[in-house]
Amino acid sequence: MLNKELEKFDLACTYLRNDQNIAAHNLFMSLAQKEMKNYNFKAGLYLILASACKVKQGKDPKKELLEAADFYVKLAKKDPQTANYAYRCAAKCHLKVGQYEEAMKMFEQAKKYILKPAEEKRTIVAVDDSPAILMRVTSFLQYLGYDNIKTASDGKGALDIITELIKSGQNPIVLLDMDLPDITGDVVATKLLESKPSLSIILITADEKTAPRVRKTIGIGSAAFVQKPFTINELKNALDTAKLSEIR
What does the pLDDT read at residue 126?
A: 95
Residues with Cβ < 8 Å from 233, sequence gap 6 or more? none
Closest CA to 24 of 45, 50, 51, 55: 50
Residues with Cβ < 8 Å from 95, sequence gap 6 or more? 103
Same domain membership, residue 243 and residue 172: yes
What does the pLDDT read at residue 69?
A: 95
Report the chain's C-alpha Rg in angstroms.
Answer: 19
Per-residue pLDDT at 51 exceeds 90 = yes
CA distance 13 to 74: 27
Query: Among residues 111, 127, 149, which one ends one of the domains?
Result: 111
Write the pLDDT tens digit of every residue in 122-152.
Answer: 899 999 999 999 999 999 999 888 889 999 9
Same domain membership, residue 201 and residue 129: yes
Average pLDDT over residues 217-227: 67
Same domain membership, residue 40 and residue 156: no
Residue 69 sits in a domain whose CATH number is 1.25.40.10
Per-residue pLDDT at 86 exceeds 80 = yes
Per-residue pLDDT at 219 exceeds 70 = no
As a whole number, the mean pLDDT across the chain is 86
What does the pLDDT read at residue 29?
A: 95
Same domain membership, residue 179 and residue 213: yes
Phi, psi for 204 (deg, rounded to 5): -110, 120
DSSP letter for each residue of 67-129: HHHHHHHHHHHH-GGGHHHHHHHHHHHHHHTT-HHHHHHHHHHHHTS---HHHH---EEEE-S
Per-residue pLDDT at 233 exceeds 70 = yes
Query: Among residues 68, 89, 111, which one ends one of the domains?
Result: 111
Query: Among residues 79, 111, 143, which one ends one of the domains?
Result: 111
How many structural domains compose the chain?
Answer: 2
CB atoms near residue 2 (< 10 Å): 10
Write the pLDDT tens digit of every residue in 150-169.
Answer: 999 999 999 999 999 999 88
Per-residue pLDDT at 218 exceeds 90 = no
Per-residue pLDDT at 119 exceeds 50 = no
Same domain membership, residue 235 and residue 129: yes
Same domain membership, residue 145 and residue 89: no
Q: Report pTM.
A: 0.51
CA distance 42 to 218: 14
Same domain membership, residue 47 and residue 7: yes
Average pLDDT over residues 87-109: 92
**Local confidence band at 111 (pLDDT 50, 70, 90 cut-offs):** confident
Write the pLDDT tens digit of every residue in 164-206.
Answer: 999 988 889 999 998 899 988 888 988 888 888 888 898 888 7
**Local confidence band at 248 (pLDDT 50, 70, 90 cut-offs):** very low
Residues with Cβ < 8 Å from 192, sequence gap 6 or more? 159, 162, 174, 199, 201
Same domain membership, residue 122 and residue 68: no
Same domain membership, residue 144 and residue 46: no
Same domain membership, residue 198 and residue 236: yes
Give the domain extent around 59: 2-111
Same domain membership, residue 229 and residue 213: yes
Residues with Cβ < 8 Å from 52, sequence gap 6 or more? 16, 61
Per-residue pLDDT at 213 exceeds 80 = no
Residue 193 sits in a domain whose CATH number is 3.40.50.2300
CA distance 226 to 235: 7
Same domain membership, residue 155 and residue 100: no
Whether the CB-CB separation of 93 and 107 falls below 8 Å is answered with no
Per-residue pLDDT at 210 exceeds 60 = no
